[in-house]
Structure 1
Amino acid sequence: MPDSLSESPVSNAADWTVSELSGALKRTVEDSFGHVRVRGEISGYRGPHSSGHAYFSLKDQNARLDAVVWKGVFGRLKLRPEEGLEVVAIGRITTFPGKSSYQIVIEQLEFAGAGAIMAMLEERKLRLAAEGLFAPERKRRPPFLPAVIGVVTSPTGAVIRDILHRLADRFPRHVLVWPVRVQGDTSGAEVSAAIRGFSSIPAGGLALAAGGLIPRPDVIIVARGGGSLEDLLGFSEESVVRAAAESEIPLISAVGHETDITLIDFAADIRAPTPTAAAEMAVPVRADLVAELAQFHARLRAGFARGLDRRRTDLRSLVRLLPSADALLALPRQRLDIAGQRLPRALKANASAHRLRLARAESRFGPQVLTSALTRRRERVAVVGARLPRGLTATTAGHRLRLTRVDSRLRLVAQSQRDRRERGRDRLDGLLGRLRRCRSQQAGARAGRLDAVAKLLAALSYKGVLARGFALVRNGAGAPVHAAEGITAGDALEIEFRDGRVAVRATGSGPDAPPPARPPRKPAKTRAATPLPDEPRQPTLFDK
C-alpha cells in the first residue's frame, strides 16, 4: 500500500483564529435576532455587582439563558429583578467571547402576566409575614373620635374629595393631606416617606418657621381609587409595608375597591374596602352621638325619678310599719301599774324582814353578854397592867438611847443649818440689793411708760377736742350722736362743753332742717361735769 494512503487529506478551507470566529459568531447572532422578548424565571440574582451591573439567568423547564443589565439601564428599570420572579425580558442577544457563551443584554423588564405578579406578591407576603409584620397582636384600635386625621393620597384625585365629603357628613375633623403619587415608579417611595413623615411629627405638633403649627394626626388613612394589579403594585412594595408596620400612629388602608388586595392591607391596623368606608371607620356619626347622648340623658333622668319614687314608697312602707307612741308606751305603762300594785305589799314585807333582823341582833346584846365581855376586858387590863412597868422601863431606856442619838444628829444638823443660814443671809442681802436696784429701774421705766400713755390718753381724749371749742351731743340714753339723721323733733339731747353739760330738746328733724327762730334768752348756769361711775372709759369723737 502506498504511503499517501496513511497521510491526512489536504483541505482548502481557510484557517480561523479564535477571536475571528468569536467575532463572526457574535455578528451572526446579533444580526439574526436583534431585539427579542424572552419569557423566563429569574435565577441566581444576588443584587447589583460592585460595578453597578446586574448578572443573573433566565430559565424555564429545559433551558437556561445568561442575562446582564448594565449600570445605566438598571437605574431606569420599572421592575427590579427578584429571585424566582417570572418576567418578560426585552433586549438584544449577544455573545460573550471570554466564556464562549451567549447572553441577553436586558433593556426592559415586565411581569409575565398576572400570574407572575401574584406569585411575586405571594412570595413577598410569606417572607414579610415570617418577620411578624402581619401579626394580629401588632394591630391597634384607632381612637373613637380623632382630633386630626392624616390622609396619604393624591391631592388631585376624586379619592380625597370623597373622604372630605364623607367626613363633613359624619363628623367634621381637621384633615392633613400628604400629597403623593399613587401610581408609577416613585409611588411606593413617596407613600412610605409620607407614613414615616406623619409618625415623625412630635406629640405637641411641629412648629413652622412662619409661626404656624402642624398638629400630629391621631389616625392615618392611606387611600387610592381602584385600578389594575400593576397600578396597585406601589402599595405592595416592601418599603411601604415596613413603613405601615413601623407607624406609631394607627393606620387605615383604603387602597382600591373591595376586591383589590395589596400587602399594605395586611400591615395596616384596619383595612377598609373603599376610601369612603375608611372615612366612616375613622369618625362616628355626630348626629347618632347626639341622639345617643340625649337618650342616655333621658334614661338618667328617668332612672333618677324611678329611684326617688322607689325610695319614697319604701319610706312610706317603713313609716306604716313603725308602732305608734301609745303602742310603744303601753307595755312600760302596764309594768308600772303592776309595780305600783305590788309596792305596798313589798314595803310591808321589807319592814317585817328588817324588824326580824333587829330582833335577832337585840338578842345578841343582853346583860349577860355585856357582863361576860366586861369581865374578859378587865382580865386583859390586869394582865397588861402587870406588864406595863417593865415595858415602860424598857421603852424609856430605848427611847432615851434613840433620843441621845437623835440629839447628836440634831446638833450636827443645827450646825449645818446655821452655816447654811449664814450663807443664805449673805445671798439674801445680795439679792435684796439687786431687787432694790431692779425695782427702782422698773419703777422709772414704768413711770416713763405711764407718762407716755397719759400723754397719749390726753391727746386721744375727747376732752382736748372740747377744750378747742367743740361740743359732744348725747341722746336721751347718754349715747353719743354722730349725725343729724335719725333725730326727730322733740327728742331730748344733752350737749357737753369744756366746762359742763347742757340739756336741750330738738326742734326740727333731718340733716337739712333749719333751726327755729326764737328770742334770745339768758345763758343758763353751767354745772360741773360729773363723770358716770359705771362708765368703763370716756367716749371720744373717734367712737362709732
Structure 2
Amino acid sequence: MPANPAQLLANSPEYTVSELSSALKRTVEDTYGHVRVRGEISGFRGPHASGHCYFALKDESAKIEAVIWKGVHGRMRFKPQEGLEVIATGKLTTYPGSSKYQIVIEAIEPAGIGALMALMEERKKKLAAEGLFDEARKQLLPWLPEVIGVVTSPTGAVIRDILHRLEDRFPRRVLVWPVRVQGEGSAEQIAAAIDGFNALPDGGHIPRPDLLIVARGGGSLEDLWSFNEEIVVRAAAGSMIPLISAVGHETDVTLIDFAADQRAPTPTAAAEMAVPVRSDLVVEVSSLAARALVAWKRGHDDRRTELRSAARALPGASELLAIPRQKVDSAAAALPRALRASTNVHHRRFTRISGGLTLRVLRSQVAHAKQSVAATSARLSHCTQVGLRHRRDRFAGLAVRLRTSRFANAQAQRDRITRDDERTQRLFERARRALVTLLQQHETRMTHSAKLLAAVSYRGVLARGFVLVRDDAGRALRSAAAVGSGARLTLEFADGQVNATSDVNRTAATSSSPGSSPKSQPRPASSRRATKPADQGNLF
C-alpha cells in the first residue's frame, strides 16, 4: 500500500518565516552578486525624507523594485528621472518585510544617445520656462576688455589656442581658472569658477575680469555633458560679467550656449569675439582722421565761397530803403487832405442821425425794446428748462457708462503701469551695467595714458640723478665741446634749478684725446675721496 504524502513530508525539516527569508536572501545575493539591468524608471517621486530613493525599473512585461541609498545618490553624475530609460548597476537582494526582491543600485547611466538627447530637451524646456534663455537677460560684450577670465582645462590645447589668438589680434591680460571639463565633479568645478570670477571685488589684488570665456574642445555628447548640467547653466545665466560659451566644435550644442551672452563655434572664435584687431583699428583711426581733416577743409572752402557770393549779390542800404522812403513821402503828402474829407463825412452822418432822435421816438424804441426783452426772457426760461432736462438725462446715461468703464480703465492702466515698471527696471539695470563698464574703460584708458606720459617724460630721468644743462638762451647742451669758458649755465635737477658759470680746463679735454699718455693706474677709493684731480674743472 503506498505511503501517505503527509507521512512522507512529516520527516522534512521545519523553517520559520525568518529562516526561510534569510535563506532566500543568501541564495539571491550569492547567485546575482552584481548585475546590470536595463529598464525604464517608474514611480520615481524624488528622494525620500531620509535621502534614499525608491522606485521601480520596468520593461514591456516585467518590473523590479529598486533603491538608491542617500550617499550613493549624492555622488551620482546622472540623477534618476521619471520615464527615463537607464542602465543600472547594483546588487540584487530581497526585502523580507514584504517578501519581494529588489536591486540596490550603485551606478546609473542613460541608455544610449537617445536618452541623453531626451534628457537634454526636457532640461532645456524647464530652464527656458524659467526665463534663463531670454534675450532680455543677455549682456553686451565689452568692446576692448582689459582682463579676460578663461574657465577651461589648463593642460589642453584650448587655452593655448586662445592665448595665441589674443596675442595675434590684441594682447590682453588673461586669468585662467583651471577646472576639469569632463568626468565626475567637473560641472561643480565649472559653476564654482564662474561664481568665483563674479565674486572678485573691483580694485582687488586679483583684478576682476571684464569678460569670461568658458571653453572646451570637441567631443561626444557624453564628454560634453558637464556643460548641460543645471548647475552650470544657472551659473552662466546668473553671471554679472559678460560670458562667451565656446564648447566643442561648431556642430556641438550644449545648454550653456543658450544661457551665455554670446556663443562661439570654437575657442579660437571666442578669442576673436573678445578683442578687435589692433592693426585694423590703427589703420581705421588714421583713415578717419585724414577723412575728417579733408572734409573740414572742403566745408571751410565751401562756406567761404558761399559768403563771398552772397556778399556780391546783396544790395546796398540806400537801394533797399529807396522804395519804402518814397512810399512814406507819398503817404505824408496825402494825409492832410484825407483827414479833412474824413471829418466832413463824419459830420454829415452825425447831423443826419441827430435829426431823428426826438423824445417820442426814443420812448417808442424803449417800449419796443422792453417787449422784445420780455419775450426773449420767456423763451430763454423755457429753453433753459428744456435744455437742463435734456442734459440731466444725458448726464445720467454718461454717469452709468462712466462708472462701468472707470473700473475697466483703471485695471487696464494698472496692468500697463506694472508692465512699464518692469520694463523700466530691466532697462535701468542694463543701462547701469553698461555705464559702469564704459566708465571703467575710460578710467583704464586715462590711467594708461598718464603712465605712458610719465614714462616718456624727461623728468623721470632727472629723478634718477641726472642733470639737464642749458645755456643762457635756454637751449639744452648735449656735449662738453658746446660749453665755453665763463659761459652762464642753468642746471635743472628733479627738485629745482641752479645757475652756474663754467670754468672749463681745456688741458683735461686734450689729455683724454687719442694718442695721449696711457691712463693712470686706479687709486684706492680712500685716496680718490681725499684728493681732487688737478685737471678737473669746476662748474660752480
TM-score, length of structure 1 as denominator length = 0.55
- Residue of 10, 13, 16 corresponding to 2:6: 10
In the aligned structure 1, how far is the partner of 2:103 from the partner of 2:55? 10
Aligned to 1:68, what secondary structure does the other structure show? Answer: strand
- Residue of 243, 259, 270 corresponding to 1:251: 243
Q: Indicate the residue corresponding to 1:278 in structure 2.
A: 270
Instruction: State yes or no: 1:147 paired with 2:146.
Output: yes
In the aligned structure 2, how far is the partner of 1:309 from the partner of 1:200? 57
Structure 1 residue 195, shift from structure 2 partner: 0.8
Q: Which amino acid aligns with 1:147?
A: E
Matches within 5 A, 1:217-296: 217-296=209-288
Instruction: State yes or no: 1:122 paired with 2:125.
Output: no
Matches within 5 A, 1:46-445: 46-202=45-201, 204-206=202-204, 213-323=205-315
In the aligned structure 2, how far is the partner of 1:12 from the partner of 1:20? 22
Per-residue CA shift, 1:303-331, capped at 9, x if unaligned?
11110121122123223324579x95997
In the aligned structure 1, how far is the partner of 2:61 from the partner of 2:225? 31
Per-residue CA shift, 1:132-185, capped at 9, x if unaligned?
111111111111111211111112211111111111111111211111111111
Unmatched 5+ residue regions in structure 1? 1-7, 207-212, 336-544
Q: Which amino acid aligns with 1:178?
A: W
Shift in alpha-carbon separation, 1:243–1:330, aligned structure 2, 3 A: closer
Structure 1 residue 89, shift from structure 2 partner: 0.6
Aligned to 1:141, what secondary structure does the other structure show? Answer: coil
Q: Indicate the residue corresponding to 1:500 in structure 2.
A: none
Mean Cα deviation higher: 45-54 or 305-314 = 45-54
Structure 1 residue 20, shift from structure 2 partner: 3.2
In the aligned structure 2, how far is the partner of 1:125 from the partner of 1:321? 75
Per-residue CA shift, 1:224-282, capped at 9, x if unaligned?
11111111111111111111111111111111111111111111111111111111111
Q: Indicate the residue corresponding to 1:361 in structure 2.
A: none
Shift in alpha-carbon separation, 1:324–1:128, aligned structure 2, 3 A: closer
Aligned to 2:244, what secondary structure does the other structure show? Answer: strand
Structure 1 residue 49, shift from structure 2 partner: 3.8
Structure 1 residue 55, shift from structure 2 partner: 2.2
In the aligned structure 1, how far is the partner of 2:7 from the partner of 2:90? 40
Per-residue CA shift, 1:472-493, capped at 9, x if unaligned?
xxxxxxxxxxxxxxxxxxxxxx
Aligned to 1:10, what secondary structure does the other structure show? Answer: helix
Structure 1 residue 92, shift from structure 2 partner: 2.2
Shift in alpha-carbon separation, 1:300–1:107, aligned structure 2, 3 A: same
Structure 1 residue 51, shift from structure 2 partner: 4.2
Q: Which amino acid aligns with 1:39?
A: R
Aligned to 1:150, what secondary structure does the other structure show? Answer: strand
Shift in alpha-carbon separation, 1:23–1:12, aligned structure 2, 3 A: farther
In the aligned structure 2, how far is the partner of 1:330 from the partner of 1:18? 132
Matches within 5 A, 1:517-528: none
Aligned to 1:65, what secondary structure does the other structure show? Answer: strand
Q: Which amino acid aligns with 1:55?
A: Y
Aligned to 1:249, what secondary structure does the other structure show? Answer: coil
In the aligned structure 1, how far is the partner of 2:210 from the partner of 2:166? 15
In the aligned structure 2, how far is the partner of 1:22 from the partner of 1:245? 53
Per-residue CA shift, 1:390-424, capped at 9, x if unaligned?
xxxxxxxxxxxxxxxxxxxxxxxxxxxxxxxxxxx
Aligned to 1:103, what secondary structure does the other structure show? Answer: strand
Per-residue CA shift, 1:425-480, capped at 9, x if unaligned?
xxxxxxxxxxxxxxxxxxxxxxxxxxxxxxxxxxxxxxxxxxxxxxxxxxxxxxxx
In the aligned structure 1, how far is the partner of 2:175 from the partner of 2:296? 44
- Structure 1 or 2: larger helix share? 2
In the aligned structure 2, how far is the partner of 1:17 from the partner of 1:88? 37
Mean Cα deviation higher: 106-115 or 261-270 = 106-115
Using the aligned pairs only, state the percent identity: 68
Per-residue CA shift, 1:480-531, capped at 9, x if unaligned?
xxxxxxxxxxxxxxxxxxxxxxxxxxxxxxxxxxxxxxxxxxxxxxxxxxxx
Shift in alpha-carbon separation, 1:328–1:39, aligned structure 2, 3 A: same
In the aligned structure 2, how far is the partner of 1:330 from the partner of 1:227? 91
Q: Which amino acid aligns with 1:81?
A: P
In the aligned structure 1, how far is the partner of 2:22 from the partner of 2:7? 23
Aligned to 1:214, what secondary structure does the other structure show? Answer: coil
Q: Which amino acid aligns with 2:76?
A: L
The higher radius of gyration belongs to: 1
Structure 1 residue 221, shift from structure 2 partner: 0.7
In the aligned structure 1, how far is the partner of 2:194 from the partner of 2:8? 75
Shift in alpha-carbon separation, 1:314–1:110, aligned structure 2, 3 A: same
Q: Indicate the residue corresponding to 2:332 in structure 1.
A: none
In the aligned structure 2, how far is the partner of 1:242 from the partner of 1:330? 81
Q: Which amino acid aligns with 1:205?
A: G
* Aligned-CA RMSD value: 3.0
In the aligned structure 2, how far is the partner of 1:330 from the partner of 1:85? 99
In the aligned structure 2, how far is the partner of 1:161 from the partner of 1:25? 60
Structure 1 residue 71, shift from structure 2 partner: 4.1
Shift in alpha-carbon separation, 1:143–1:233, aligned structure 2, 3 A: same
Shift in alpha-carbon separation, 1:319–1:107, aligned structure 2, 3 A: same
Aligned to 2:8, what secondary structure does the other structure show? Answer: coil
Shift in alpha-carbon separation, 1:284–1:330, aligned structure 2, 3 A: closer
Structure 1 residue 84, shift from structure 2 partner: 3.1
Q: Indicate the residue corresponding to 1:41 in structure 2.
A: 40
In the aligned structure 1, how far is the partner of 2:188 from the partner of 2:143? 30
Mean Cα deviation higher: 59-68 or 162-171 = 59-68
Per-residue CA shift, 1:50-106, capped at 9, x if unaligned?
444332221223322111223454444343333333211112222111111111111
In the aligned structure 2, how far is the partner of 1:318 from the partner of 1:72? 93
Shift in alpha-carbon separation, 1:294–1:32, aligned structure 2, 3 A: same
